[in-house]
Amino acid sequence: MGTGGIRNSWSNLRRAVAGVVVAVTAATALVAVAPTAQAAGAELLSCVGSGANTYQPGVTAQIRPVTITSRADYGPCVSSGSPAITSGGYDVVVTGLISCLAGSVSIMVTITWNTGETTTVAAAGVVVLRPANETVVVYQGRVTAGRFTGALVVMNAVVLNTTPQQCLTPEGVTSSGGPADIVITQLA
């Protein structure tokens, strides 16, 4: 592809991103308001940490089914109750409809905590683009088993794509990583 073709592809990608950002920002505002309105109860756990993903096939500018192998390591954590949770993590393989611009993923993960306890979370994620070339996946769901059963869960994963030009190649983006956090709240 010549220089003009690459320039046109980037121009098309920027226009597509602008349209998707408006739609996703509106959807994200709704997602962000929902937990706040519901979460009148006490915070049971909050953690910061990091995550890493690999994608097969790679993520491109076109939305398509992608198998995602994802890992998150949480810590430090602040929790209520005893024993105190200070760290945890999970590994999961899921399939989602995603692109470099947008997408959605449903997950069921079992987090293993430093206490030996587990928390199983069922959540839906929305891909949100941010202006500094980072993509944030906001997961919202519930604890379905283990410690905190029935509680509301919000997980955020910041996916830093250091090679955005890979979105325009047939191979696409095959891996990414960045900060992650989780908040579990008991509903009133």
Distance CA 26, CA 44 (A): 29
Section 96-103 average pLDDT: 89
Tell me, what's the pLDDT at 129?
74
At residue 14, what are phi and psi to the nearest 5 degrees? -65, -40
**CATH number for 124:** 2.40.160
Answer yes or no: is pLDDT of 81 > 70. Answer: yes
Tell me, what's the pLDDT at 131?
65
Section 76-104 average pLDDT: 93
Structure tokens at 185: 């709240």
DSSP character for 162? S
Section 120-146 average pLDDT: 88
Tell me, what's the pLDDT at 144?
98
Q: How far does the chain reach from its first CA to its final CA, in angstroms?
A: 58
Q: Give the residue among 36, 1, 46 at the shortest CA–CA distance from 168.
A: 1
Distance CA 148, CA 87 (A): 15
Q: Give the residue among 58, 56, 84, 45 at the shortest CA–CA distance from 182.
A: 45
pLDDT band at 28 (very low <50, low <70, confident <90, very high): very low
Tell me, what's the pLDDT at 165?
87
User: Which residue range forms the structural domain that includes residue 115?
Assistant: 3-185
pLDDT band at 132 (very low <50, low <70, confident <90, very high): low
Answer yes or no: is pLDDT of 175 > 50. Answer: yes
Residue with tokens 């830093």: 160
At residue 27, what are phi and psi to the nearest 5 degrees? -65, -40
Distance CA 187, CA 78 (A): 18
Least confident among 37-41, 49-53, 64-68? 37-41
Q: Report the mean per-residue pLDDT for the chain.
A: 81
Answer yes or no: is pLDDT of 4 > 60. Answer: no
Distance CA 113, CA 40 (A): 25
Distance CA 186, CA 188 (A): 6
pLDDT band at 124 (very low <50, low <70, confident <90, very high): very high
Tell me, what's the pLDDT at 141?
97
Distance CA 108, CA 44 (A): 20
More confident residue, 28 or 165: 165
* CB atoms inside a 10 Å sphere around CB 97: 13
Beta bridge partners of 58: none
- Which pTM was predicted? 0.77
pLDDT band at 9 (very low <50, low <70, confident <90, very high): very low
Domain count, the chain: 1
On whether the CB atoms of residues 50 and 178 are closer than 8 A, the answer is yes
